[in-house]
Chains A and B, each alone.
Chain A
């Protein structure tokens, strides 16, 4: 059997051993909860509660303010203390609904759900929209929008992204081995929306346990297949994944639907199940707390809005003082100046590193070695683009397909001169995209 993969990519140390055997445990927040009204791509949700209101677990507290937007629900029961801007993991300040948790976890009255067979596609999409489900691989694109492509009948593949190619992350892995049946049921919900589609579950072959469990779970499903993928970063990037599984190529100006594919992350499929089958909104997220500076690397099921500082304590605190803390994985995650920020729907990990490799690296001149070119999954010339970016040459940058960069970080990772290629390219991409919006 040939192993499915893509061209380019890198093999960083995966670090998953730290937390891959740690069972998912529920973490109950201790302090105040701060639920951001904008945890997704699109318009921020509009708060529908006010200071002093009593809210219950699962109660909608902010309403989607457009088609590309998502509802936000309370993850605890308690009193709304205020609505104020709070610092987020990415360094921006976003309006948050602050709730004083009364520790009772009193649940709202969920509407009774109908069996899947009796639901129309419109009702299914509505349930997903109502539950505030967004893409939980990190992009946080509202899922009901993704599941409403223009060419519904042309969708041939529903792909579940179980690659989890980012080093250190184990949240998807734990979900896959602890609840494989639910993943399959969730996928079946999506498949009912697309009569011509087949389900594919792509998993990197460094997770044999997950592949085994899921193969077992789909053995009676004619329309779903589990596909092992070659372990290489960024195998889980949407374009790499679609290419590996279907041989189809999409570029930056296309949507997966243009190639007849819809890709959803493992956690997203779980939330779709929760929304449609159980009628429950999205109120929690699996977060891996790991790194060589953490005492007990763990996988927690965390309520949205929980302060991330608490998670470090829950994982046994610091073994040594970390030089760097990252929200997400080491390749694409965001370094945080403080972990005093709330968990959002897109939080996947809290990676605490004893050493800051980037600060320690000494940058030198580019020697034109071409390693970045070999590693780039978008098949562009990172070293050239970075130079153009630093020189402010927007026109040439676009001509050399700088916009195709997926910001995966492979070029910076391999660069022997330790140049921050990804960063330079990202800066220029932002500029070009901003100038296009004008």
Chain B
């Protein structure tokens, strides 16, 4: 052994976890919700999922090729963005619009800001909001069994009764991946068990939103209307948003307290958007708005170093 050995700084061993594996786990966790979406809304839902995933990956690869960067599509993050976007689309949406949304999400929201880890806004949700603004009617045309229908939250808003059980199972009108609370919860449990996500954000989000709904319910003379609360928890994009989109690492705070503050901001904003505004929905806008607050939330919640708990950070 005459040659010199390789050296490097400590530590000399590394955990098995990798960015690619994390993205794959999130995709796996979305399989139940996707499966329910496909079975409820038909094969068109599958087509949209495949198309958005393929166009997101292609857009990333082409952009990186043109700009002479290392092609990083193998980390799975573009595929995940595509999947999340598809789950946020109504099944009746024309395919070309879905492609446009995916390309916007990847190129404008993600790559223009430096690629993975650098975007300040959740790409899939920004893509969705871009489509909502551009093609308002196509994006809110919810069909189930081929018939257009109002989403449960829209029905609730106009004072109608809703079937909470159906909302829990997912057999109601809505976007492809948001309708089934149970399928989303199964995926969430998988992510929690794999330690991909922590409870901070979803619990703070759902908890503060629930409190907001109850306060609203009390102040509008409904009293403790548990069914109203349950419908709001299962309805719209809350479950998908709270477990899969608000927990997006890149666009959520890194500090433990920051995550809780972030979740509470989301809960309050979603409540305001849904209950006080014109729209029946509010999760997407709440999340991309709070994404913008992340730097300031992080700045306010820098943890105290071990042994320096009594000192001010400033």
Please indicate the chain B residues that have their CB under 8 angstroms from the CB of A356 in the complex: 6, 8, 12
Q: State whether the Cβ of A323 lies closer than 8 Å to any Cβ in chain B.
A: yes
Given the interface pairs A239-B307, A370-B254, A404-B308, the reply to whether A422 lies near B22 with Cβ below 8 Å is no
Interface-facing stretch out of B51-59, B111-119, B157-165: B111-119
Q: With CB as the reference atom, state the residue of chain B lying closest to A326.
A: B12
Contact with B along A395-431 (1 / 0, CB 8 A): 0000111001001011011111110101100100000
Q: State whether the Cβ of B9 lies closer than 8 Å to any Cβ in chain A.
A: yes
Is B306 in contact with A251, judged by CB distance below 8 angstroms? yes
Please indicate the chain B residues that have their CB under 8 angstroms from the CB of A384 in the complex: 254
Give the contacts of B1-38 with A (CB-CB under 8 A). Answer: 1, 4-15, 17-19, 21-22
- In the assembled complex, the Cα of A323 lies from the Cα of B117 at a distance in Å of 32
Q: State whether the Cβ of B217 lies closer than 8 Å to any Cβ in chain A.
A: no
Please indicate the chain B residues that have their CB under 8 angstroms from the CB of A379 in the complex: 303-306
Q: State whether the Cβ of A324 lies closer than 8 Å to any Cβ in chain B.
A: yes
Please indicate the chain A residues that have their CB under 8 angstroms from the CB of B61 in the complex: none
Q: State whether the Cβ of B256 lies closer than 8 Å to any Cβ in chain A.
A: yes
Is B118 in contact with A381, judged by CB distance below 8 angstroms? no
Is B5 in contact with A324, judged by CB distance below 8 angstroms? yes
Contact with B along A312-336 (1 / 0, CB 8 A): 0000001001111110001111111
Is B256 in contact with A373, judged by CB distance below 8 angstroms? yes
Please indicate the chain B residues that have their CB under 8 angstroms from the CB of A351 in the complex: 12
Given the interface pairs A323-B5, A367-B116, A369-B249, the reply to whether A335 lies near B12 with Cβ below 8 Å is yes
Closest 3 CB pairs of A and B: A251-B307, A409-B11, A365-B117
Please indicate the chain A residues that have their CB under 8 angstroms from the CB of B10 in the complex: 330-335, 407, 409, 412, 422-423
Please indicate the chain A residues that have their CB under 8 angstroms from the CB of B21 in the complex: 416
Please indicate the chain A residues that have their CB under 8 angstroms from the CB of B140 in the complex: none
Give the contacts of A330-381 with B (CB-CB under 8 A). Answer: 330-338, 351, 353, 356-359, 361, 364-371, 373, 377-381
- In the assembled complex, the Cα of A409 lies from the Cα of B10 at a distance in Å of 6
Contact with A along B284-312 (1 / 0, CB 8 A): 00000000000000000011111111000
Is B254 in contact with A239, judged by CB distance below 8 angstroms? no
Min distance, Cβ A27 to any Cβ of chain B, angstroms: 20
- In the assembled complex, the Cα of A222 lies from the Cα of B140 at a distance in Å of 76
Please indicate the chain A residues that have their CB under 8 angstroms from the CB of B4 in the complex: 337-338
Min distance, Cβ A373 to any Cβ of chain B, angstroms: 6
Please indicate the chain A residues that have their CB under 8 angstroms from the CB of B17 in the complex: 371, 414, 416
Is B309 in contact with A249, judged by CB distance below 8 angstroms? yes
Give the contacts of A246-271 with B (CB-CB under 8 A). Answer: 249-252, 254
Interface footprint category on A: 35 or more
Min distance, Cβ A316 to any Cβ of chain B, angstroms: 15
Please indicate the chain B residues that have their CB under 8 angstroms from the CB of A252 in the complex: 307
Q: State whether the Cβ of A85 lies closer than 8 Å to any Cβ in chain B.
A: no
Contact with B along A193-212 (1 / 0, CB 8 A): 00000000000000000000
- In the assembled complex, the Cα of A415 lies from the Cα of B254 at a distance in Å of 13
- In the assembled complex, the Cα of A380 lies from the Cα of B256 at a distance in Å of 11
19 A–B contacts, CB within 8 A, in A order: A10-B15, A13-B13, A239-B306, A252-B307, A334-B10, A356-B6, A357-B12, A358-B8, A364-B117, A367-B116, A368-B117, A379-B303, A404-B307, A404-B308, A412-B11, A416-B15, A416-B21, A418-B14, A426-B9
- How many positions in chain B have a CB within 8 Å of any CB in the partner chain? 42
Q: State whether the Cβ of B72 lies closer than 8 Å to any Cβ in chain A.
A: yes
Is A377 in contact with B14, judged by CB distance below 8 angstroms? no
The tally of CB-CB contacts under 8 A between chains A and B is 168
Given the interface pairs A364-B72, A368-B250, A416-B18, the reply to whether A377 lies near B7 with Cβ below 8 Å is no
Q: State whether the Cβ of B64 lies closer than 8 Å to any Cβ in chain A.
A: no
Q: With CB as the reference atom, state the residue of chain A lying closest to B294.
A: A368
Please indicate the chain B residues that have their CB under 8 angstroms from the CB of A321 in the complex: 1
Q: With CB as the reference atom, state the residue of chain B lying closest to A379.
A: B306
Given the interface pairs A324-B5, A324-B6, A335-B5, the reply to whether A358 lies near B250 with Cβ below 8 Å is no
Is A322 in contact with B306, judged by CB distance below 8 angstroms? no
- In the assembled complex, the Cα of A359 lies from the Cα of B7 at a distance in Å of 9
Q: With CB as the reference atom, state the residue of chain B lying closest to A406.
A: B306
Of listed B11, B75, B304, residue having the most chain A CB within 10 A: B11
Is B250 in contact with A367, judged by CB distance below 8 angstroms? yes
Min distance, Cβ A4 to any Cβ of chain B, angstroms: 16
Please indicate the chain B residues that have their CB under 8 angstroms from the CB of A12 in the complex: 13, 15
Is A167 in contact with B6, judged by CB distance below 8 angstroms? no
Is B249 in contact with A368, judged by CB distance below 8 angstroms? yes
Is A381 in contact with B308, judged by CB distance below 8 angstroms? no
Q: State whether the Cβ of A383 lies closer than 8 Å to any Cβ in chain B.
A: yes
Q: With CB as the reference atom, state the residue of chain A lying closest to B4.
A: A337
- In the assembled complex, the Cα of A194 lies from the Cα of B302 at a distance in Å of 40
Please indicate the chain B residues that have their CB under 8 angstroms from the CB of A417 in the complex: 18-19, 117
Is B5 in contact with A336, judged by CB distance below 8 angstroms? yes
Q: State whether the Cβ of B255 lies closer than 8 Å to any Cβ in chain A.
A: yes
Selected contact of A337 from candidates B7, B13, B250, CB within 8 Å: B7
Please indicate the chain B residues that have their CB under 8 angstroms from the CB of A323 in the complex: 5-6
Is B7 in contact with A368, judged by CB distance below 8 angstroms? no
Q: With CB as the reference atom, state the residue of chain A lying closest to B252.
A: A368
Please indicate the chain A residues that have their CB under 8 angstroms from the CB of B14 in the complex: 357-358, 361, 412-413, 415, 418
Selected contact of A330 from candidates B12, B117, B118, B314, CB within 8 Å: B12
Min distance, Cβ B258 to any Cβ of chain A, angstroms: 9
Please indicate the chain A residues that have their CB under 8 angstroms from the CB of B118 in the complex: 365
Please indicate the chain B residues that have their CB under 8 angstroms from the CB of A410 in the complex: 11
Is B306 in contact with A400, judged by CB distance below 8 angstroms? no
Extra pairs beyond A324-B5, A358-B8, A368-B117 (18, CB < 8 Å)? A250-B307, A254-B307, A321-B1, A323-B5, A323-B6, A332-B10, A351-B12, A357-B12, A358-B14, A361-B14, A364-B116, A364-B117, A379-B305, A409-B10, A413-B11, A416-B21, A417-B117, A423-B10
